[in-house]
Amino acid sequence: MESVQLAANVAMCQQTLKHRISCTGVGLHSGKRVAMTLQPAPPGTGVVFQRTDLSEDEGFIPALWDRVCDTTLCSTIANDHGARVATVEHLMAALAGCEVDNVLVELDSAEVPIMDGSAAPFVFLIECAGLVQQDAARRVIRILKTVSVEDDDKLVKLSPGNGLSVSLEIDFENPHVARQTHRFDISGLIFKDELCRARTFGFETDIEEMRNRGLARGGSLQNAIVVGEHGVINEGGLRYDDEFIRHKALDAVGDLYLAGAPIMGAYQGVRSGHGLNNGLLRTLFADLDAWEMVEISTEGDERIVSDWKQFQSSPIAAIA
């Protein structure tokens, strides 16, 4: 079997944070103030959220695709007790881009803080906390055959490939966004330089309707790009000329990290969104011939992890 080919800067060992680190912010949709702490976690933990405003028995939620319960304008995960955490995708993208395998995310509310609407503040937190390699081989999910999900004129697809690449097409009626296409070969450096600062965006004409639906109550020009009739109304304009499609790529990276490990394959999205991204992971893992989990040694050797059922459950007991 062909050996796994990873970018030279990709970690071969699992990684966690050196130190705990905290921040406060507001939930984009709830509008509530929230405190968040990122804690180091043992090898094999994965990304696990803990609602500290709930009892310990009720508050743990593994950040996995089969825990996604809502995809309305964000990715929301829940556990069997009904505890939820919304808007996880930007933090998940930062963890993926910084190659953090194991972390406990403590929250005192039901939504990750939106910060400035991008993943850059989370990357800053991770870099301030520092990373430490752990005595466990890193695992990646290798795509073996193409899987796809379609919905009218929307499409998402995963195909075999080396590393993770993200190809996107967006198409909005608003002429200030319109149609854009781009392809990114995701690595830590590319994520930090080209994606992590891209902010979430919305349209001025949709704000009232969203707030009537209980959404975007914490949204402002400080944490989102707002596009009006005559263009972007934020002071200072865009951070990138094509910031809109870059943010969509950031969202895709975050949604795909809910697979539970880095994906080695080519992602393609046409008018994609959180719902289709989650549907793609559900389709992928329903087909045991479409993927395999590979454990990479520090020498670059590989071992196929055959017990896929064990992979589906996060070892919360290790940190509880």
What sign has the CA pseudo-torsion 41, 45, 46, 50?
negative
274 catalytic residue (yes or no):
yes
Decide: 198 and 240 in contact? Cβ < 8 Å: yes
Strand partners, 180: 170
Residue from 29, 90, 247, 274 carrying the catalytic annotation: 274
Q: How far apart are the first and last CA of the chain?
A: 39
CA dihedral 222, 227, 228, 229 (to 10 degrees): 160
Give the active site residues.
Answer: 274
